[in-house]
Chains A and B, each alone.
Chain A
Amino acid sequence: MTPVLGAALVGLTAVSLYAIFGGADFGGGVWDLFASGPRRQAQRDAISNAIGPVWESNHVWLIFAIVTLFTCFPPVFADIGANLSTPLTLALLGIVLRGAAFVFRNHAADTFATARSWTAVFGASSIIAPFFLGDAAGAIATGRYAWTSPFALSAGVFAVALCAQIAAVFLVRETSHDRALRDDFRRRAVRATVVVWIAGLVPALLAHQAEPGLFAALIGPVARIGIAIAMLLGIVVMLSIANHRDTLARVAVGAEALAVLAGWFGAQAPNLIPNSWTYQTAAASPAMLSAFLVATAIGALFLIPSLALLFFTFKGRGSGSDAALPPMTNP
């Protein structure tokens, strides 16, 4: 394996894990905003409990992806920063307000008005952040940073739908102790999967219309396989939700997000930014890439057991049904 390939794989892993886990946390915010029905507060509590211990480490995948990008592919980082400042600034605002709002509202839970305002901020920013991240991704795919193009905007909508779908599926298993609550998220998971299919179709149609280069890549072999697998996995999600196979649904929805990303990055390989940078031309010096890969290997030795401990402590077998979970106002 060449150092460039190694660095690219590390970066893509970080992006993928952020899309799945960070995406699930944003999706949680979306469902917080759309909490409804008689179990409205219970839904919100379930979301808070699910996100609480893990969202900060899930967020670090984004930082890790950014750092990998500017260490290993610095000109791409510079060009993205220079050309996509508006959508990225808006995404950043969403990310920052989401994080702050989540903690603030939990610590202010006993003051109704304050908690409610921060809850609103939490929900709204959970839509803004993935929308503009998806929009920026779509803009990169156009090869001309066209973030206001219908294609990029529809990619933003797709990203929000995907986050909502992942979150709903994850929340089904997080609420396995409460049948009514679980059914709430079960319904949401099914609806969100349908929305993901529709929202995924729109960018493809728009690309066919306005982005000939991109469309050619989309109907190439790699993208076709990625899209086909993603759609199949969507069906798996539906079926396993319907048959109460919650863990399988979880795996399938994560794999679906991976297939979407793999299809995208695979379709535009060897380009990192179509029309301007390939992985090879954008790569930092071999000395830097090697040092980075060594650092990553050492870091992973500490990171992987720590992550395992975190998820074992809070997401392990039966922890979702742990009624003795400390109340969110008292972390």
Chain B
Amino acid sequence: MEHVIAARALMGTSLAFHIVFAALGVGLPLLVVAAEGLWLRTKRRAYYDLARTWAKGMAILFVVGAMSGTILSFELGLLWPTFMRYAGGIIGLPFSLEGFAFFIEAIFIGIYLYGWERLSPVAHWLSGLPIVLSGALSAAFVTTANAWMNMPAGFRIVNGTVVDIDPIAAMLSPPWLVEVLHTTLAAYVVTGFGAAAVCAFALVRRSAEDRREQVQAGLTIAMLVASIAIPLQWIVGDVIARFDADHEPAKFASLEVLFHTRRHAPITIGGIVSGDTVRYGIELPSALSLLVAFDPNAEVKGLDRVAPDDRPPVAAVHYSFDTMVGSASLLLLVAIVWTIVALRKRVPAKSLLIGIAVCGPISVVAMEAGWFVTEFGRQPWIARGLLRTSDAATVAPGVDVQLYGFSIVYVILAATCWWLLRRVGTKDHAA
């Protein structure tokens, strides 16, 4: 296997794996703290049991997230030494800050998980809050590094050397805010729908009748988080689309399969991408011009404005984008239906519960697809305009062996994690 292909495959596999656990690591503490807070207020046993059950899941998921994150920190050096030589001194700051946030998270995870009997109830609940905050901050800091890769900033290049490094400007490169919001909201969307799906599944199957109250409380808390996060995510996504149209035209033209610069540009859904045409796609005339500039006559830049060597893999970007938007549409629909049902104080019908259960995996699909959009959409660059992915990869031998080795590790971790989480959900945890 070619070095750069193997390195990309391994990094992609590692990130695709880690991102799920990282998202749950950001979102679950919020659900746990909410449940425990409700217990403190109402003293209803169901909330306490719910917090204990979710906290067990959090413990298992956190360790897999922390370990797969460790793999990534090594892989930055093992797979992309040239990139790190270049970029470490420019974009290292958010990683250092992320180090501190992760530290606080790990410390309070220890206190929270092992402190149920050692701390007073209120002190224990308070020890959960830093996990919520530092988890979100960790994700935010790391995302600013990704924003920098999309639009490198905070330095100048004079005669081939990097000068005038401004670490703060690098960390706050133009897309940082929208990317941070998009990533953090994704974590709450995935955790909300994920946890709700588990509860809905149990209600449909009637597999937890002895703990029905607990499961219903879990469904409500999780769906509340999901139903707040998903509409916000749509708004941020819309802002990012316009941002990309202005600042990342190659990515934007790829995800919208716009090969030629034109006015009255259409939105194309689906279709078969071959060469520089799309066939059988559903076209919404002028919709893209409207979306970008609120004017059907507006000109939208196509891939013809991008040098052939600098174009992303259009089909991969486009299909990922459609997958993300399609999945997110379903999530939004289910969230709206649930909200109406909940506001009318009705009990969710079986069909709605099935819909929620389906949304669990769909939300993960949406997140992974969104991440594919931003990563494939930046190719062939690892840092856009600065360093090509093919020039950044290691030339050390054995990357393909590492790829197979770590793939096996991921399968084992995921399988064990799944098995343990199922036990957490089914075992009686009244004690």
Residues in A whose Cβ lies below 8 Å from that of B261: none
- Nearest residue (CB) in A for B102 is A60
Give every chain B residue within 8 A of A288 (Cβ-Cβ).
Answer: 89-90, 92-93, 165, 167
Q: Which residues from chain A contact B235 at a C-beta distance below 8 Å?
A: none
Segment at the interface with B among A163-171, A225-233, A261-269, A304-312: A304-312
Q: Which residues of B contact A60 (CB under 8 A)?
A: 99, 102-103, 106
In A211-227, the 8 Å CB interface with B consists of none
Interface membership of B77, Cβ < 8 A: yes
**B12 is an interface residue with CB less than 8 A from chain A:** no
Contact B77 A81, beta carbon cutoff 8 Å:
yes
Contact A291 B107 (CB under 8 A): no
Does the CB pair B111–A100 fall under 8 Å? Answer: no
**A330 and B431 in contact (CB under 8 A), knowing A59-B70, A79-B81, A95-B67?**
yes
Closest-CB distance, B130 to chain A (whole angstroms):
7
Decide if A52 is an interface residue (CB 8 Å cutoff): yes
CB distance from B217 to the nearest CB of A (A): 21
A59 contacts which of B66, B84, B165 (Cβ < 8 Å)? B66
A99-B63, A303-B104 given; A284·B88 CB < 8 A: yes
Write out, one digit per residue, whether chain A residues 12-52 have a CB within 8 A of any chain B CB (1) or not (0). 00000000000000000000000000000000000000001
Q: Provide the bound-state CA to CA distance between A309 and B115, in Å.
A: 12
Given contact pairs A291-B168, A292-B93, A313-B118, A66 touches B74 in the complex (Cβ within 8 A): yes
Assuming the contacts A52-B114, A66-B73, A284-B92, asked whether A107 and B99 have C-beta atoms less than 8 A apart, the reply is: no
Number of interface residues of A (CB under 8 A): 63
B70 surroundings in chain A (CB, below 8 A): 59, 62-63, 92, 95-96, 99
Contacts of B78 in A (CB 8 A): 81, 85, 88-89
Q: A85-B78, A107-B420, A313-B118 are in contact. Are A71 and B63 (CB under 8 A)?
A: no
Q: Does B277 contact A (CB under 8 A)?
A: no
Stretch of B280-288, B342-350, B351-359, B394-402 with 4 or more beta carbons under 8 angstroms from chain A: B394-402
Given contacts A74-B85, A78-B85, contact A314 B100 (CB under 8 A): no
Query: B409 near A96 (CB under 8 angstroms)?
Result: yes
Is A53 in contact with B113, judged by CB distance below 8 angstroms?
Answer: yes
Q: How far is the CB of A39 from chain B (nearest CB, A)?
A: 23
B409 contacts A97, C-beta separation under 8 Å: yes
Known: A63-B102, A64-B99, A77-B77. A96 touches B67 (CB 8 A): yes
Main secondary structure of the interface of A (DSSP, over half): helix
Residue B361 interfacial (CB < 8 Å): no
Tally of contact residues, B, Cβ under 8 A: 70
Contacts of A178 in B (CB 8 A): none
Residues of chain A lying within 8 A (CB to CB) of residue B81: 77-79, 81-82
- Which residues of A are found within 8 Å of B394, using beta-carbon distances? 81-82, 85
Nearest opposing residue in chain A for B114, CB measure: A53
- Taking the closest CB of chain B, its distance from the CB of A135, in whole angstroms, is 15
Report Cα–Cα, A96/B78, bound state, in Å.
16
**Are A309's CB and B111's CB within 8 A?**
yes
B114→A63 contact, CB < 8 A: no
Distance in angstroms between the alpha carbons of A56 and B88 in the assembled complex: 25
Cβ A77 vs Cβ B97 within 8 A: no
Q: Are A88 and B74 in contact (CB under 8 A)?
A: yes
* Interface presence of B117 (CB below 8 A): yes
- The docked-state distance in angstroms from the alpha carbon of A85 to that of B397 is 9
A287, B167: Cβ atoms under 8 Å?
yes
Q: Is A67 an interface residue (CB 8 A)?
A: yes
Which residues in B have their C-beta under 8 angstroms from that of A295?
Answer: 93, 96-97, 100
Answer whether residue A242 sits at the interface, using C-beta atoms and an 8 A cutoff: no
**Which chain B residue shows the least CB distance to A101?**
B416
Chain B residues with CB under 8 Å of chain A are 56, 59-60, 62-64, 66-71, 73-74, 76-82, 84-90, 92-93, 95-100, 102-104, 106-111, 113-119, 130, 165-168, 394-396, 398, 402, 405, 409, 413, 416, 420, 423-424, 431
Report 18 cross-chain contacts, Cβ distance below 8 Å, ordered by A residue.
A56-B106, A62-B70, A66-B73, A66-B77, A67-B99, A88-B78, A89-B405, A96-B68, A96-B409, A100-B67, A103-B59, A103-B60, A107-B424, A287-B165, A292-B96, A299-B100, A313-B115, A313-B118
